[in-house]
Amino acid sequence: MRPVQAQKLEPFGTTIFSEMTRLAQERGAINLSQGFPDFDGPEQLIRAASRALNSGENQYARSMGHPELVRAVADRRRADHGLEYDPMEEVGVYSGATEGLAAAMLGMLNPGDEVVFFEPYYDSYPACAALAGAKPRFVTLEAPDFRIRSEDLERAITPRTRLVVLNSPHNPTGRVFDTEELEIVAELSLEHGLRVLTDEVYEYLVYDGATHVPLATLPGMRERTWSVSSLGKSYSVTGWKIGWATGPKDMIGAAQAAHQFLTFATATPLQKAAAFALNTLRDDYLAEFSRDYLERRDFLVDALMRAGLSPFVPEGTYFVLADFTDVFEGSDVEFVRYLIDKVGIAAIPPTAFYTANPAAGSKLVRFAFCKTMDTLREAARRLEAMGS
Ligand code: PMP
Ligand code: GLN
């Protein structure tokens, strides 16, 4: 019999996140692989969701997003960055940023079009391009600085390029791209008439005075940039899968053209709770949130250094990449297997996030620090025992 699975999905297999979390559970390892907190979201938010469930609003929501949530998203974008969006036409709500990105690529790319990704990437990007029948081109961000360089991006652009996808703060490098790098993306997009999808799910997780500057705030970019974010990261409820995007009407409309047939609408009561979060859990909550994460980051970075690894201190996100050359000979996949079997820690082998130049990630390992300090202390203890 012919294989039942469509060929276009064949190269992608099972996502590394499912694979590593399964292995962590099987082996009883501390799971620093998949990026989800091992603690609950804020009590007030859980109560808001429970109120919403009991409010009688349990039927389909408006396809483009519950009016309360799209208004909250537009308000937040204005308050945070001075960006104005019409809540009813320039905001879209999706079942997570992942669905939003899929809807955007399916809604904006024709077969044969090209899309530029920076690698290492969030693994859904190339799979979405494949679903859309588009051709990905990759720009490798190289250690140690993982900077965007104009000549590298320019080389990836062809007359068929339609989209550039930019994730900042960046998973897995922890980079928060600075104005100079954003200007490179803006300049080349304007010059070549490209649209940009920005993935800003870690927008509130920045450290050491780094500032997250949305690309849409640069001159000329608001009209060509679609920007996605997500409740999961900033409010520690990754399982709710509530995402949203802001952008010009034509880009929100193009993503909507696909979204209406992918999921049609997203869980109504959770959208109401998301609106509560955006309207209510603001400056004080977010300040405490990033302070807590700074403590976790510093603790894990220190533990990795003590274990002989060389971490790249992240400027943002809840991930840290580390070079393991000094403690292990072999590939990232072999090192991660060793970590699970012998050290009791699950991590991600970053070559899963590369296509063009996997060698650039083959001596790196990614750890997530969206975990309680107790979990991180136990991980540090295990790392300390490594090799002894
Ligand atoms: N983008 C990036 C860069 C991510 O790391 C993640 C991870 N969860 C997502 C998007 C997905 O967000 P969501 O859970 O809202 O689909
Ligand atoms: N974004 C999360 C990570 O990088 C995982 C998302 C997922 O499991 N699909 O770990």
Among 264, 280, 296, the domain boundary falls at 280
Which of 280, 313, 339 represents a domain boundary (last residue)?
A: 280
Q: Say how many residues make up the chain.
A: 388
Answer whether residue 1 is part of any domain: no
Cβ–Cβ under 8 Å, residues 348 and 20? yes
On whether both 255 and 312 belong to a single domain, the answer is: no
Q: Whose CA is nearest to atom 7 of ligand 1?
A: 35
**What atom in ligand 2 is closest to the CA of residue 238?**
6
| Closest ligand to Cα 347 | 2
Ligand 2 atom index nearest CA of 98: 9
Is residue 17 within 6 Å of ligand 2 at its C-beta?
yes
Residue 24 Cα to ligand 2 midpoint, Å, equals 15
- The pLDDT assigned to 261 comes to 98
DSSP 18: H
Ligand 2 center–CA 140 separation, angstroms: 20
Q: Is residue 291 part of a domain?
A: yes
Nearest to 167 by CA among 76, 233, 72, 108: 233
* Burial group, residue 337, by CB count within 10 angstroms (0-12, 13-18, 19+): middle
- CB-CB contact of 339 with 383 (8 Å): no
| CA distance linking residue 242 with residue 201, whole number of Å | 11
The CA–CA distances, whole Å, from 265 to 99, 100, 202, 277, 297 equal 11, 11, 24, 19, 36
- Cα(260) to ligand 2 centroid in Å equals 24
Q: Specify whether 27 is located in the same domain as 81.
A: no
Are 227 and 196 found together in one domain? yes
Among protein residues, the one with the nearest Cα to ligand 1's atom 8 is 35
Residue nearest to atom 1 of ligand 2 (CA): 35
Q: How many A from CA of 97 to the centre of ligand 1?
A: 6
Residues 331 and 270 reside in one and the same domain? no
Q: What is the pTM of this model?
A: 0.97
For ligand 2, atom 7, the nearest C-alpha belongs to 17
Residue of 16, 36, 105, 122 with the most ligand 1 atoms within 8 Å of its CB, for mutation: 122
Distance 351 CA to ligand 1 centre (A): 18
Q: How many domains does the chain have?
A: 2
Both 97 and 135 in one domain: the answer is yes
Nearest atom, ligand 1, residue 99 CA? 16
Give a yes or no: residue 2 inside a domain.
Answer: no
Same domain, 296 and 209: no
Task: Give nearest CA residue, ligand 1 atom 4.
Answer: 122
* pLDDT at res. 387: 65
Say if residue 231 is in the same domain as residue 295: no
Q: Provide the residue range defining the domain that includes 203.
A: 43-280
**For the CA of 243, the nearest ligand:** 1
Are 154 and 91 part of one and the same domain? yes
CA 256 / ligand 2 centre spacing (Å): 23
Q: Can you read off the two tokens belonging to residue 277?
A: 């979060």
Q: What is the CATH number of the domain that holds 336?
A: 3.90.1150.10
pLDDT by position in tens, the chain (length 388):
888 999 999 999 889 989 899 999 999 999 999 999 999 999 999 999 999 999 999 999 999 999 999 999 999 999 999 999 999 999 999 999 999 999 999 999 999 999 999 999 999 999 999 999 999 999 999 999 999 999 999 999 999 999 999 999 999 999 999 999 999 999 999 999 999 999 999 999 999 999 999 999 999 999 999 999 999 999 999 999 999 999 999 999 999 999 999 999 999 999 999 999 999 999 999 999 999 999 999 999 999 999 999 999 999 999 999 999 999 999 999 999 999 999 999 999 999 999 999 999 999 999 999 999 999 999 999 999 886 6
On whether both 20 and 63 belong to a single domain, the answer is: no
